[in-house]
Structure 1
Amino acid sequence: MEWLRRTLEHSAFGVCGWLADHMGIRRTRVRLYFIYLSCLSLGSSLPFYFFAAFWLNIRDYLREGRRQVGL
Protein backbone atom coordinates (compact mmCIF):
# COMPACT_ATOMS: atom_id res chain seq x y z
CA MET A 1 0.00 0.00 0.00
CA GLU A 2 2.89 2.36 0.79
CA TRP A 3 4.41 1.68 -2.62
CA LEU A 4 1.14 2.59 -4.33
CA ARG A 5 0.87 5.84 -2.38
CA ARG A 6 4.45 6.87 -3.23
CA THR A 7 3.93 6.01 -6.89
CA LEU A 8 0.73 8.05 -7.11
CA GLU A 9 2.32 11.01 -5.33
CA HIS A 10 5.32 10.95 -7.64
CA SER A 11 3.20 10.70 -10.79
CA ALA A 12 0.96 13.56 -9.68
CA PHE A 13 3.85 16.06 -10.09
CA GLY A 14 3.97 16.95 -6.39
CA VAL A 15 2.03 20.20 -6.74
CA CYS A 16 0.02 19.67 -3.58
CA GLY A 17 3.16 18.65 -1.70
CA TRP A 18 5.06 21.70 -2.89
CA LEU A 19 2.19 24.00 -2.00
CA ALA A 20 1.84 22.44 1.45
CA ASP A 21 5.57 22.71 2.14
CA HIS A 22 5.59 26.31 0.96
CA MET A 23 2.61 27.23 3.16
CA GLY A 24 3.79 25.17 6.14
CA ILE A 25 0.73 22.90 6.43
CA ARG A 26 0.18 19.17 6.07
CA ARG A 27 0.12 17.69 2.58
CA THR A 28 -3.00 15.64 3.24
CA ARG A 29 -4.93 18.78 4.14
CA VAL A 30 -3.97 20.48 0.86
CA ARG A 31 -4.91 17.39 -1.13
CA LEU A 32 -8.24 17.14 0.67
CA TYR A 33 -9.06 20.80 -0.01
CA PHE A 34 -8.07 20.36 -3.64
CA ILE A 35 -10.42 17.41 -4.00
CA TYR A 36 -13.28 19.33 -2.37
CA LEU A 37 -12.59 22.38 -4.52
CA SER A 38 -12.53 20.26 -7.67
CA CYS A 39 -15.86 18.69 -6.81
CA LEU A 40 -17.52 21.96 -5.87
CA SER A 41 -16.23 23.89 -8.87
CA LEU A 42 -16.91 21.05 -11.30
CA GLY A 43 -13.24 20.57 -12.12
CA SER A 44 -12.32 24.17 -12.85
CA SER A 45 -9.37 23.94 -10.45
CA LEU A 46 -7.72 21.31 -12.66
CA PRO A 47 -6.27 23.89 -15.11
CA PHE A 48 -4.57 25.59 -12.15
CA TYR A 49 -3.12 22.25 -11.05
CA PHE A 50 -1.76 21.47 -14.51
CA PHE A 51 -0.32 24.97 -14.87
CA ALA A 52 1.40 24.68 -11.49
CA ALA A 53 2.78 21.24 -12.39
CA PHE A 54 4.12 22.60 -15.68
CA TRP A 55 5.65 25.63 -13.97
CA LEU A 56 7.35 23.56 -11.26
CA ASN A 57 8.77 21.23 -13.90
CA ILE A 58 10.13 24.13 -15.97
CA ARG A 59 11.57 25.81 -12.88
CA ASP A 60 13.43 22.63 -11.90
CA TYR A 61 14.67 22.23 -15.47
CA LEU A 62 16.02 25.78 -15.52
CA ARG A 63 17.75 25.30 -12.16
CA GLU A 64 19.39 22.10 -13.40
CA GLY A 65 20.63 23.91 -16.50
CA ARG A 66 22.15 26.71 -14.44
CA ARG A 67 23.99 24.23 -12.23
CA GLN A 68 25.45 22.36 -15.18
CA VAL A 69 26.66 25.53 -16.90
CA GLY A 70 28.30 26.75 -13.70
CA LEU A 71 30.32 23.56 -13.28
Structure 2
Amino acid sequence: MGIVTGLRHYMEKYGFYVSTRIADRMGMRARNVRITFIYFTFATLGAGFGVYLIIAFWLKIKDMLYVKRSSVFDL
Protein backbone atom coordinates (compact mmCIF):
# COMPACT_ATOMS: atom_id res chain seq x y z
CA MET A 1 0.00 0.00 0.00
CA GLY A 2 1.40 3.35 -1.02
CA ILE A 3 1.84 6.40 1.13
CA VAL A 4 -0.93 8.32 -0.61
CA THR A 5 -3.38 5.43 -0.33
CA GLY A 6 -2.54 4.94 3.34
CA LEU A 7 -2.98 8.64 4.03
CA ARG A 8 -6.31 8.67 2.19
CA HIS A 9 -7.62 5.70 4.19
CA TYR A 10 -6.45 7.29 7.46
CA MET A 11 -8.18 10.61 6.68
CA GLU A 12 -11.38 8.85 5.60
CA LYS A 13 -11.45 6.83 8.82
CA TYR A 14 -10.38 9.50 11.32
CA GLY A 15 -11.17 12.74 9.47
CA PHE A 16 -13.72 15.33 10.39
CA TYR A 17 -16.17 14.29 7.63
CA VAL A 18 -16.27 17.87 6.37
CA SER A 19 -16.21 16.87 2.71
CA THR A 20 -18.79 14.14 3.20
CA ARG A 21 -21.21 16.40 5.04
CA ILE A 22 -20.86 19.21 2.50
CA ALA A 23 -21.30 16.74 -0.36
CA ASP A 24 -24.43 15.25 1.23
CA ARG A 25 -25.97 18.67 1.70
CA MET A 26 -25.18 19.79 -1.87
CA GLY A 27 -26.01 16.46 -3.52
CA MET A 28 -22.48 15.91 -4.84
CA ARG A 29 -19.85 13.23 -4.52
CA ALA A 30 -17.47 13.62 -1.58
CA ARG A 31 -14.51 13.05 -3.89
CA ASN A 32 -15.37 16.16 -5.92
CA VAL A 33 -15.58 18.26 -2.77
CA ARG A 34 -12.18 16.95 -1.59
CA ILE A 35 -10.61 17.75 -4.94
CA THR A 36 -12.07 21.26 -4.80
CA PHE A 37 -10.51 21.77 -1.35
CA ILE A 38 -7.16 20.52 -2.67
CA TYR A 39 -7.24 22.89 -5.67
CA PHE A 40 -8.33 25.77 -3.46
CA THR A 41 -5.45 25.06 -1.09
CA PHE A 42 -2.87 25.11 -3.87
CA ALA A 43 -4.36 28.17 -5.54
CA THR A 44 -4.40 30.24 -2.34
CA LEU A 45 -1.10 28.97 -0.92
CA GLY A 46 -2.62 27.14 2.05
CA ALA A 47 -5.70 29.21 2.81
CA GLY A 48 -7.93 26.32 1.69
CA PHE A 49 -6.54 24.14 4.48
CA GLY A 50 -7.36 26.87 6.97
CA VAL A 51 -10.92 27.10 5.65
CA TYR A 52 -11.22 23.31 5.92
CA LEU A 53 -10.12 23.39 9.58
CA ILE A 54 -12.49 26.24 10.42
CA ILE A 55 -15.41 24.33 8.86
CA ALA A 56 -14.34 21.14 10.69
CA PHE A 57 -14.29 22.83 14.10
CA TRP A 58 -17.58 24.64 13.37
CA LEU A 59 -19.27 21.34 12.50
CA LYS A 60 -17.84 19.71 15.64
CA ILE A 61 -19.18 22.50 17.85
CA LYS A 62 -22.53 22.43 16.02
CA ASP A 63 -22.83 18.68 16.64
CA MET A 64 -22.11 19.16 20.34
CA LEU A 65 -24.68 21.96 20.72
CA TYR A 66 -27.54 20.62 18.62
CA VAL A 67 -28.49 17.15 19.76
CA LYS A 68 -31.07 15.45 17.60
CA ARG A 69 -33.97 14.14 19.64
CA SER A 70 -36.08 11.30 18.36
CA SER A 71 -39.34 12.52 19.91
CA VAL A 72 -40.89 15.33 21.90
CA PHE A 73 -40.73 13.29 25.10
CA ASP A 74 -36.90 13.19 25.11
CA LEU A 75 -36.73 16.61 26.77
**TM superposition score category, shorter chain reference:** 0.7 to 0.9
Identical columns (%): 40
What RMSD, in angstroms, separates the aligned Cα atoms of the two structures?
Answer: 2.4
Q: How many residues align?
A: 67
Gaps in structure 2 of 5+ consecutive residues: 2-7
- Mapped to 2, the partners of 1:41 and 1:21 lie a distance apart of 25
User: Moved runs in structure 1, 4+ residues, more than 4 A?
Assistant: none
Match of 1:35 among 38, 50, 68: 38
Q: Which region of structure 1 is more displaced relative to structure 2, 21-30 or 40-49?
A: 40-49
Match of 2:19 among 16, 22, 28: 16
Indicate the structure with greater helix content: 1
Distance 1:57 1:10, change over 3 A: farther
**2:16 match: secondary structure:** coil
**1:52 match: secondary structure:** helix
Structure 1 residue 63: Cα displacement: 2.1
Rg bigger for which structure? Answer: 2
- Mapped to 2, the partners of 1:37 and 1:45 lie a distance apart of 5
TM-score normalised by L of structure 1: 0.75
TM-score normalised by L of structure 2: 0.72
Gaps in structure 1 of 5+ consecutive residues: none
